[in-house]
């Protein structure tokens, strides 16, 4: 099969990286195995490239080396340069898994399946390992890890440099088979985070890592032996590629020297903690874990930790049939003159009745979200919002007649786009008769207290109940809030209280979600929102207010609620009479609150004291590790 350089996204490894990886895995092999005769150690390089790994493998004294290279243009160079290496100019993925090696090392090609489906179809068709381990939304180098594990001898080591995205992904993604394979057959011994430096000058994105796996012996599988994981984080030096400083960093790692740009520690996560179906938060120092666990002691209900997903259904804002049709832009498809509204139909602006105006809702995008609130002036448009549930007991013909009679101008506008809207609904396998109703997927499946499955309609929530919401792409804990009607586009997530759950203390929860405590949890648990909300749902614990019983704790909670309520109304001043009890119970906190101008900071002071946390300790950990 002809997979050329471009199709394999081939980028050669810098020599200093290859040198480091070879020397590093040699150190690990010597420390974990009794083998001292290098002539008997079999080494495999599955993607030789120009031979940079081979050069350093030979330099370490190894002699039994097998290397694969698919790029035929490199054949002459490799054969002339390395005559004593068993070179195979074929696809490594077609090699025999029964050929076993002590060490496997290299830089496998990176190629996402999403945009290269045909290439992956060819691989699955031609190679059994690809057929066995193929999963949608995977990367090409996953196959190299799978086959590498299969080809390792028990006790053998595999070291690759790859992108680091796969480590934090869950089984809902392309790692569905990869992590179970690793946890079943291997130990993860070392993880080196390279995301803060540029390694490959020509590569898109620089979120790389180096890792070492060790193949388990059968008795280690049976006895469920555990091993620690060595972590090395390279701190950000600058955003530019700097080969000289990179070389010095890797030299310091090999020589076990201290450097202000390196963090070395044993992860608080050990191999027994690596779940086959979840993301792996390896950058987790023991001091960070201790603080996380201290926070979580206040989040236990009947002895168990409960998380956001236990209290809330988290769902997108409005997913419309087509935004450009249903969201009317002022001065484009909509004119507002004083209290009158005019909709554009066939290049003519027609005045809407008061009845029709009520069906236009202010629409917001996630960019308006602020801690505790949102920018009410940043309207993205006016949504035509007819709720299908208002007409659910009518047959189709009567329903449409009723809608067209009650909202003649709105329906005339939508009828102008009828064919386009029907096509969209038809292609989505939805009812083509629903062109007047913008919301798609309004019914969700939920389980009640008795674990019975039921359908829940999300429509009423937009006009009712307090609402907490956040952006679907975010690295920080910014949670907005309103008690008013609020309609948002699909780039916003809402927290809807689960049916059967008792009323939540929204003001206290809002303060907590926007606090330095949750900011710390975001960093400690590597929570980054990129459309996926899984980590947020499953890893942000909810405080149990009933655990705080003392007078002093209750006073702190009441003051937190009070300041939070002010923030949701954009009130920054504090009634000093509210601080009287605080002055009596916490004189130090009182003076801090009195002198602090930032209301968010005031809430942090109160919450940190409530959770018995020292702000300086939190700041130290954030600065050192994140």
Conformation bin of residue 184: beta by default, left when phi > 0, alpha when psi is -120 to 50: alpha
Rounded mean pLDDT of 266-274?
96
Residue 332 CB partners (closer than 8 Å, separation 6+): 344
More confident site: 293 or 392: 293
pLDDT value at residue 5: 43
Q: What is the pLDDT of residues 323-375, one digit of tens each?
A: 999 999 999 999 999 999 999 999 999 999 999 999 999 999 999 999 999 99
CATH annotation of 15-284: 3.40.50.150
Coil, helix or strand at residue 531: coil
In 32-148, beta strands by DSSP E: 42-45, 64-68, 86-88, 101-106
For residues 489 and 319, give the distance between their C-alpha atoms in angstroms, rounded to a whole number: 7
pLDDT at 398: 83
> pLDDT tens for residues 282-335?
999 999 999 999 999 999 999 999 999 999 989 989 889 999 999 999 999 999
pLDDT higher than 50, residue 469: yes
pTM of the model: 0.87
Q: List the 467-471 sheet strands across, edge first.
A: 312-316, 492-497, 467-471, 480-482
The rounded Cα 179 to chain-centroid distance in angstroms is 17
Distance CA 265, CA 192 (A): 11
In this prediction, residues 152-166 reach a mean pLDDT of 95
Q: Name the least confident of 22-36, 80-94, 137-151.
A: 22-36
CB 439 within 8 A of CB 318: yes
Helix (H, G, I), strand (E, B) or coil at 470: strand
The confidence score (pLDDT) of residue 3 equals: 43
Q: How far apart are CA 197 and CA 241, in angstroms?
A: 7
pLDDT > 70 in the chain, percent: 93
Cα–Cα distance, 455 to 445 (Å, whole number) = 5
Give domain limits for the chain. 15-284, 320-427, 545-625
Q: Which two tokens stand for residue 415?
A: 């009828």
Q: How far apart are CA 435 and CA 429, in angstroms?
A: 13
What distance in Å separates the CA atoms of residue 253 and residue 27, rounded to the nearest whole number? Answer: 12
Q: How much of the chain exceeds pLDDT 90, in percent? A: 67
Closest listed residue to residue 432, CA positions, set 441, 424, 444, 442: 424
How far apart, in whole angstroms, are the C-alpha atoms of residue 557 and residue 553? 6
> What pLDDT is recorded for position 10?
65
Count of Cβ atoms closer than 10 Å to residue 364 Cβ = 26
Strands (E), 290-358: 300-301, 304-305, 312-316, 327-328, 334-337, 340-345, 348-351
* Burial (0-12, 13-18, 19+ Cβ within 10 Å), 93: buried
* Position 25 pLDDT exceeds 70: yes
Largest CA distance in the chain: 90
Whole-angstrom Cα Rg for the chain: 30
Mean pLDDT calculated for residue range 456-484: 88
Q: What per-residue confidence (pLDDT) applies to 442?
A: 62
pLDDT of residue 401: 86
Per-residue pLDDT, 566? 94
Per-residue pLDDT at 263? 93
> What is residue 361's predicted lDDT score, i.e. its pLDDT?
94
Mean pLDDT for all residues in the chain: 90
**Is a pLDDT exceeding 90 seen at residue 156?**
yes
How confident is the model over 111-123, as a mean pLDDT?
90
What confidence category does residue 399 fall into, taking pLDDT thresholds of 50, 70 and 90?
confident
């Amino acid at each position: 099969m002809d997979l050329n350089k471009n199709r394999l996204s081939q980028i050669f490894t810098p020599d200093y990286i290859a040198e480091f990886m070879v020397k590093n895995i040699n150190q690990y092999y010597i420390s974990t195995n009794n083998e001292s005769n290098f002539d008997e150690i079999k080494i495999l390089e599955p993607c030789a490239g120009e031979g940079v790994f081979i050069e350093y493998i030979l330099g370490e004294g190894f002699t039994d080396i097998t290397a694969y290279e698919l790029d035929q243009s490199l054949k002459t160079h490799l054969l002339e340069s390395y005559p004593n290496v068993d070179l195979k100019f074929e696809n490594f993925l077609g090699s025999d898994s029964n050929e076993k090696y002590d060490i496997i090392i290299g830089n496998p090609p990176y190629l996402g399946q999403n945009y290269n489906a045909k290439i992956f179809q060819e691989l699955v068709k031609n190679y059994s390992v690809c057929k066995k381990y193929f999963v949608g939304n995977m990367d090409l180098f996953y196959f190299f890890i799978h086959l590498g594990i299969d080809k390792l001898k028990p006790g053998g080591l595999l070291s690759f440099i790859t992108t680091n995205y796969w480590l934090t992904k869950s089984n809902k993604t392309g790692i569905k088979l990869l992590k179970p394979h690793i946890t079943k057959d291997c130990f993860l011994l070392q993880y080196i985070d390279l995301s803060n430096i540029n390694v490959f000058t020509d590569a898109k994105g620089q979120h790389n890592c180096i890792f070492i796996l060790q193949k388990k012996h059968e008795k280690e599988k049976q006895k469920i032996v555990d091993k620690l994981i060595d972590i090395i984080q390279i701190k950000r030096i600058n955003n530019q590629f700097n080969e000289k400083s990179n070389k010095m960093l890797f030299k310091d790692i090999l020589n076990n020297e201290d450097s202000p740009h390196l963090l070395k520690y044993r992860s608080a996560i050990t191999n027994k903690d690596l779940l086959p179906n979840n993301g792996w938060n390896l950058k987790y120092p023991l001091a960070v874990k201790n603080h996380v666990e201290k926070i979580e002691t206040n989040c236990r209900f009947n002895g168990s930790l409960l998380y956001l997903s236990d209290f809330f259904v988290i769902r997108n804002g409005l997913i419309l049939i087509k935004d450009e049709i249903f969201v009317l832009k002022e001065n484009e498809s909509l004119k507002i003159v004083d209290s009158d509204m005019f909709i554009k139909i066939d290049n003519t602006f027609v005045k809407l009745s008061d009845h029709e105006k009520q069906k236009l809702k202010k629409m917001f995008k996630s960019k308006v979200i602020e801690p505790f609130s949102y920018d009410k002036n940043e309207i993205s448009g006016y949504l035509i919002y007819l709720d299908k549930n208002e007409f659910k007991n009518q047959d189709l013909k009567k329903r449409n007649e009723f809608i067209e009679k009650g909202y003649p101008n709105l329906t005339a506008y939508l009828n102008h786009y009828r064919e386009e809207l029907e096509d969209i609904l038809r292609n989505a396998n939805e009812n083509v008769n629903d062109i007047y109703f913008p919301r798609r997927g309004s019914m969700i499946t939920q389980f009640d207290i008795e674990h019975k499955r039921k359908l829940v309609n999300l429509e009423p929530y937009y006009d009712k109940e307090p609402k907490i919401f956040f952006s679907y792409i975010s690295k920080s804990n910014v949670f907005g809030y309103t008690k008013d009607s609020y309609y948002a586009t699909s780039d916003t997530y809402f927290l809807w209280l689960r049916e059967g759950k008792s009323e939540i203390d929204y003001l206290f929860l809002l303060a907590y979600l926007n606090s330095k405590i949750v900011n710390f949890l975001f960093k400690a648990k590597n929570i980054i929102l990129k459309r996926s909300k899984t980590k947020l749902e499953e890893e942000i614990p909810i405080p149990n207010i009933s655990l705080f019983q003392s007078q002093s704790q209750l006073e702190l909670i009441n003051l937190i609620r009070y300041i939070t309520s002010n923030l949701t109304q954009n009130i920054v001043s504090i009634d000093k009479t509210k601080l009287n009890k605080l002055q009596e119970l916490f004189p130090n906190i009182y003076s801090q609150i009195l002198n602090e101008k930032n209301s968010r900071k005031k809430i942090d002071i109160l919450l940190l004291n409530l959770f018995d946390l020292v702000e300086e300790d939190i700041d130290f950990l954030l600065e050192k590790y994140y």
